[in-house]
Amino acid sequence: MTQRSEARNVLVVDVGGTHVKILATGKDAPRKFVSGANLTPARMVSGVKQLAAEWQFDCVAIGYPGPVIRGRIASEPHNLGAGWLGFDFEAEFGCPVRLINDAAMQALGSYEGGRMLFLGLGTGLGSALVLEGVVQSTELAHLPYRKGTFEDYVGLRGLKRLGRKKWRACVTDAVSRLIAALEPEYVVLGGGNVKELKELPQGCRAGTNASAFRGGFRLWEQPNVTVQTTAPAVSSPVADPS
């Protein structure tokens, strides 16, 4: 996906497992409403329209918590309601819409050059790589890790099950394994649960709350941004020495 248009008034929609957050070009403060397991795409669009009723926008960027292939949702989300596959967002919003994996959108907004790995510590585990301006969304969350997956240990379920101390140790271990495998120059940790870390793992910096929105704006506004939208690869289990 490489084609870009002239500057527009963009509405950015960041769909998460606990909240949907929105921000439009020229606005200072984002708005949000609760999402959760019953959030269908129709309810999401309705909620966004209500929150943005007096905002002017002529295109939309949506960060979606799941795989997006060639600008289309590739599977239903793990933490939301059903009906996202094949949903016609452009018809519902009445304007052009670009879809991107939510972690890829945050990565795009956090990128400062070179080879970067983004990991989003939220309801699940979002992930994306950026190399010389090319964004590659990944599905590292569902790779095998210990007795489950990375997401089972470093996502919100893991935090609640393990408690902060053990969860922090898992985050440090998981990040070190992913750094060893992917060899990024730096790692950005985003998501709402970064605040639960006492200190950041080596080689990491914390993302900001504004990075997802910045990524959504860049998706429409920067002509040199490329988003790779290939299917997630199937990988071997990550061994646990413990």
The answer on 224 and 132 residing in a single domain is: yes
Q: Are residues 145 and 221 in the same domain?
A: yes
Q: How far apart are CA 47 and CA 53, in angstroms?
A: 10
pLDDT at 162: 97
How many domains are contained in the chain?
Answer: 2
86: domain CATH number?
A: 3.30.420.40
Residue 154 lies in a domain: yes
> Do both 18 and 119 map to the same domain?
no
Do residues 49 and 124 share a domain?
no
* One domain for residues 65 and 83: yes
Q: 220 and 176 in one domain?
A: yes
The rounded distance, in Å, linking the Cα atoms of 191 and 188 is 10
- The pLDDT of residue 4: 46
Is the pTM here over 0.85, yes or no? Answer: no
Query: What is the tens place of the pLDDT at every residue in 210-232?
Result: 999 999 999 998 755 667 654 44
Task: State pLDDT tens for residues 150-203.
Answer: 999 999 999 999 999 999 999 999 999 999 999 999 999 998 899 999 999 999
Does 54 share its domain with 158?
Answer: no
Pick from 203, 229, 239: nearest CA to 100: 229
Whether 3 maps to a domain, the answer reads no
Q: Given 103, 122, 144, which residue is the final one in a domain?
A: 103
In a domain, 2, yes or no: no
Q: What is the residue type of 7?
A: A
Is 5 a domain residue? Answer: no
Residues 118 and 49 in one domain: no
User: How many residues are listed for the chain in this entry?
Assistant: 242
Boundary of a domain, candidates 71, 103, 135? 103
Do 41 and 21 share a domain, yes or no?
Answer: yes
Angle at CA of residue 19, ends 17 and 21, nearest 5°: 125
Residue 133: the pLDDT is 83
Residues 152 and 218 in one domain: yes
Residue 89 pLDDT class (50, 70, 90 cuts): very high
DSSP string, the chain: -----S---EEEEEE-SSEEEEEETT-SS-EEEE--TT--HHHHHHHHHHHTTT---SEEEEEESS-EETTEE-S--SSS-S--TT--HHHHHTS-EEEEEHHHHHHHHH--SSEEEEEEESSSEEEEEEETTEEEE--GGGSEETTEEHHHHHSHHHHHHH-HHHHHHHHHHHHHHHHHHH--SEEEEESGGGGG-SSPPTTEEE--TTHHHHHHHHHHH-TT-EEE-PPPPP-PPBP---
Q: Do the domain assignments include residue 234? A: no
Residue 190 belongs to what domain range?
Answer: 112-228
Q: Are residues 69 and 94 in the same domain?
A: yes
**Pair 169, 73 in one domain:** no
pLDDT beyond 90 at 20: yes
CA gap 16, 123 in Å, rounded = 8
**Does the residue 183 lie in any domain?**
yes
The domain boundary, picked from 74, 103, 132, lies at 103
- Is beta strand 31-34 parallel, antiparallel or unpaired with respect to 19-24? antiparallel
Structure-model confidence comparison of residues 152 and 132, the more confident one: 152
